[in-house]
Amino acid sequence: MFKCRKLAIVTALAVVISTALSPASVTANSDGTALKAAYDAAQQKVTTTKVAYDSALATANTKSAAVTNLKADYDTAVARKSKGSYGFFESIGATNATNALTTCKYKDYIKLGDEKDATSLTNMAASFKWMKRLNEIRKSVGLNELKVTSTLMAYAQADGDYSDTVVAHAKQFNVGENIAWNYGSDPYLQWYDEEKVIFDKAAAELGQTTPLTGATAYEYYSNNQTEIEAKAGGYGKIGHYLNDINTDYTVTGFSVTTRGSMNSWNTYTQVFYFSSSETTYTVNQYESLFNNYITTMNNTITSYNAAVAENDTAQAALTTAKTAYDTAVNECETAKAAYEKWKNSSGKTDSSKTTQKTSDKTTTQTTDESSQQEAAATIFVVDKAKYKIKNSGAVIYVAPTDNKITSVKISATVTYAGTKYKVTEIGNKALNNCKKVKTITIGSNVSKIGAKAFSNTSSLKKVVFKTKKLTQKNVAKNAFSKAGKGGNKKIKIKTPSGLADKYKKIVRR
């Protein structure tokens, strides 16, 4: 049984190709066989380098498209990262926060995204542990834990950058505020621990014998404000402690500035407010929101940079493949010219006689070697299909190279060794027994289809005709015999306008 053939380029000169001569090493005075061998080898090299070039081009296009697809998100990520906390606020639609950083009284003290600025992503990340620290204190004395808003985070950052330059409050916003300057230690040692000692001593001097904490301490202060402040030496001596235990506060924001403008101190700033109409978060929720933003942003940048690197590699490989292909084409033209020159100058063919011995008699037959070699050289492979050059300069579609192919597209033209050929014919048994092919497209230049070209294609469902040149005379009667699942009458046909009925008869006869 004839089976759909998996074909490669096979010629009578296969042995010669393995030791092919470069065109430059073969002179016009050489034997024609050597010149032909060099030309054949050059054509094979064109085919091989073209396959490599096409593959490199496809890869380069894919990698380039990946860079293009990632570029917009990358640009957004880089722009937001450069703006520090502003970019984060922007990403979650916290307009009040972004406005606070860009329109406040002391906005010129803010250096958005600078690594040591309160708005840096590093310093913003460092603020969460301190808000957790205060909530631990408040929880230990029976107070509610404070939640976080983006607006108060921005207020703390704006005020912190100003107070990094002067021992004073910025007073840009109507909020409660604590500020501490130190070399990196716990600010609550200053705000809470040290001032609680002063507060408790003042209360004791006023006759308070029971230790006061949390709500009872704040209530005692509210009822004895003047006296407590007098004993403590002023509100400034206990005000940070009172902010920490204020029972009316529900939301907070915190910042860390590490610029060290004064004595190389870090500046810690915490702001407080009673309530908020905007979205509030627990500290853990807000930290998770922030960390997810950082992860997504960094992944976007990393993915883009990786895509750029892969694209650079692919483009370099494409350049190498293109150079190899161009060189092969040039060498092929040189080899072709040398061979053609020899043929034209010799004025005759190179022939030899071979002797065959059959039974008791010997017959002598003359074989034109040059003609055999020429015929062999006209077979080539492009895009997984085998073609044969006709005497007219057009080509015949001979067969696919893969018998498991599911879709066949026979183009109007193919290019081989730098020459474009029209595909005008589909050869005998071209797809015979290709049992997995489902769709066949026939190019616009095809004017002839050979015997059993599509026979026994039992999975064939659809044939697309681009050509207008077919007739019952130039299509073999059995071209579609035993084609299609359930017979050729079930094959769907798509044709140029006005040819549907005509081509149905061709396929289904």
Mean pLDDT computed over every residue of the chain: 88
User: What are the tokens at 380?
Assistant: 């080539």
Binned at pLDDT 50, 70 and 90, residue 380 comes out as confident
For residues 169 and 173, give the distance between their C-alpha atoms in angstroms, rounded to a whole number.
10
Q: How far does Cα 180 stand from its chain's mean position?
A: 47
Establish whether domains 95-277 and 378-509 are of one fold: no
Q: Are 192 and 137 in contact (CB under 8 A)?
A: yes
Residues 6+ positions from 11 with CB-CB distance below 8 Å: 17, 40, 373, 376, 377, 379
Q: Nearest-CA neighbor of 270 among 155, 375, 358?
A: 155
pLDDT tens digits, one per residue of 219-234: 999 999 999 999 999 9
Look at residue 28 and tell me whether its pLDDT is greater than 90. no
The 8-class DSSP code of residue 30 comes to S
What percent of the chain is predicted at pLDDT more than 90? 79
For residues 81 and 93, give the distance between their C-alpha atoms in angstroms, rounded to a whole number.
16
User: What are the tokens at 88?
Assistant: 């984060």
Q: Are 449 and 427 in contact (CB under 8 A)?
A: no
Residues 6+ positions from 176 with CB-CB distance below 8 Å: 243, 246, 249, 271, 272, 273
Question: Percentage helix, strand, coil, to 5, in the chain?
Answer: 50, 15, 35
Higher pLDDT, 190 or 6: 190
Q: Are 446 and 470 in contact (CB under 8 A)?
A: yes
For residues 484 and 157, give the distance between their C-alpha atoms in angstroms, rounded to a whole number.
74
Q: Nearest-CA neighbor of 370 among 27, 28, 32?
A: 32
Binned at pLDDT 50, 70 and 90, residue 357 comes out as very low
pLDDT tens digits, one per residue of 417-441: 778 889 999 999 999 999 999 999 9
Look at residue 491 and tell me whether its pLDDT is greater than 80. yes
For residue 10, what pLDDT is reported? 33
Long-range contacts: 347-350, Cβ < 8 Å, 24+?
Answer: 350/31, 350/32, 350/33
Long-range contacts: 259-264, Cβ < 8 Å, 24+?
Answer: 259/114, 259/116, 259/117, 259/161, 259/164, 260/116, 260/164, 261/164, 261/165, 262/164, 262/165, 262/166, 262/167, 262/181, 263/181, 264/183
Look at residue 508 and tell me whether its pLDDT is greater than 90. no
CA-to-CA dists, residue 234 to 213, 243, 484, angstroms = 20, 15, 99
Q: Are 229 and 128 in contact (CB under 8 A)?
A: no
- Among 7-11, 225-229, 234-238, 369-373, where is mean pLDDT lowest? 7-11
For residue 365, what pLDDT is reported? 38
Higher pLDDT, 444 or 360: 444
Look at residue 344 and tell me whether its pLDDT is greater than 50. yes
183 phi/psi in degrees, rounded to 5: -95, 20
Rounded to two decimals, the pTM is: 0.61
Residue type, 190: Q
Return the CATH fold of 378-509: 3.80.10
For residues 90 and 92, give the distance between their C-alpha atoms in angstroms, rounded to a whole number.
6
Binned at pLDDT 50, 70 and 90, residue 393 comes out as confident
Q: Which numeric CATH code is attached to 95-277?
A: 3.40.33.10
The 8-class DSSP code of residue 146 comes to P
Look at residue 7 and tell me whether its pLDDT is greater than 50. no
CA-to-CA dists, residue 418 to 124, 267, 390, angstroms = 63, 72, 17
For residues 305 and 77, give the distance between their C-alpha atoms in angstroms, rounded to a whole number.
12
491 phi/psi in degrees, rounded to 5: -75, 130
CA-to-CA dists, residue 288 to 125, 151, 279, 285, 293, angstroms = 10, 17, 15, 5, 9
Domain layout of the chain by residue ranges: 29-94+286-343, 95-277, 378-509
- Among 74-83, 337-346, 432-441, where is mean pLDDT lowest? 337-346
For residues 325 and 51, give the distance between their C-alpha atoms in angstroms, rounded to a whole number.
9
For residue 347, what pLDDT is reported? 56
Binned at pLDDT 50, 70 and 90, residue 336 comes out as very high
Look at residue 20 and tell me whether its pLDDT is greater than 80. no
Q: Nearest-CA neighbor of 325 among 51, 18, 25?
A: 51
285 phi/psi in degrees, rounded to 5: -65, -45
- Cα maximum dimension of the chain: 143
pLDDT tens digits, one per residue of 158-187: 999 999 999 999 999 999 999 999 999 999
Q: 3-state DSSP call for residue 421?
A: strand
Look at residue 406 and tell me whether its pLDDT is greater than 90. yes
Look at residue 19 and tell me whether its pLDDT is greater than 60. no
The 8-class DSSP code of residue 417 comes to T
Q: Are 43 and 332 in contact (CB under 8 A)?
A: yes
pLDDT tens digits, one per residue of 133-159: 999 999 999 999 999 999 999 999 999
For residue 417, what pLDDT is reported? 76
